[in-house]
Amino acid sequence: MSLFAEFDQQTTLVVIAVIVVVTWMLLMRSQRYFGRQRSNEPAEPREAKPAPTTPAAHGELPESLSRWEVEMHETARQMAAQLDSKMSALQALIADADRAAARLEAAQSGTSLPSGKPQDAPAPAQNPSASLKLPSDARREEVCTLSDYGFAAADIASRIDVPLSEVEAILGARGKK
């Protein structure tokens, strides 16, 4: 009100009247503007438009998306089962390899392999008394292992001092299983 203190009372009333008139005019214009917008709309009562449905809001998915999701779950379950079975097979192979390595280390002598033979194959026992001491199951496993390394039946028989017929019988029985 310090602004109006410089003016006399009559000038103050005129300024207040002008402010009131300008405010009234602005209110009337805005009322007319919003009134026109209402008259352009249909006369029926206004219904709220349904909000677009989102899968998260209603828990419903389009059919194609639902099928895709089911297929992905099925694929994931199948892959997990395949991985589990492969892991079991791998663990069994590792255990077999450990047993074979232990058996071959026990049967191995200190001599090196002759040239021309596979170098990754362990050298079996070379003296006949050692091979005779091996139980038949251990001998059978050794024959199978050497066969897996690529040795022929005659080579296996000479390496572990077992008759060729026995080696062929073991390999034949192994092939039938």
Cα 17 off chain centre by: 78
Higher pLDDT, 71 or 130: 71
9-32 mean pLDDT: 90
Amino acid 124: pLDDT:
47
CB contact at 8 A, 160 and 166: no
Looking at every residue in the chain, the average pLDDT score rounds to 76
Residues 70, 109: Cα–Cα separation, whole Å: 59
Q: pLDDT category, 45, cuts 50, 70, 90? A: low
The pair of three-digit structure tokens given for residue 108, joined into one six-digit string: 């191995």
Average pLDDT over residues 7-16: 85
Give the residue among 151, 99, 86 at the shortest CA–CA distance from 121: 151
pTM: 0.28
Distances (CA, A) of 35 to 4, 10, 31, 46: 37, 37, 6, 15
Mention every residue, 6+ apart, whose C-beta is less than 8 A from residue 50. Answer: none
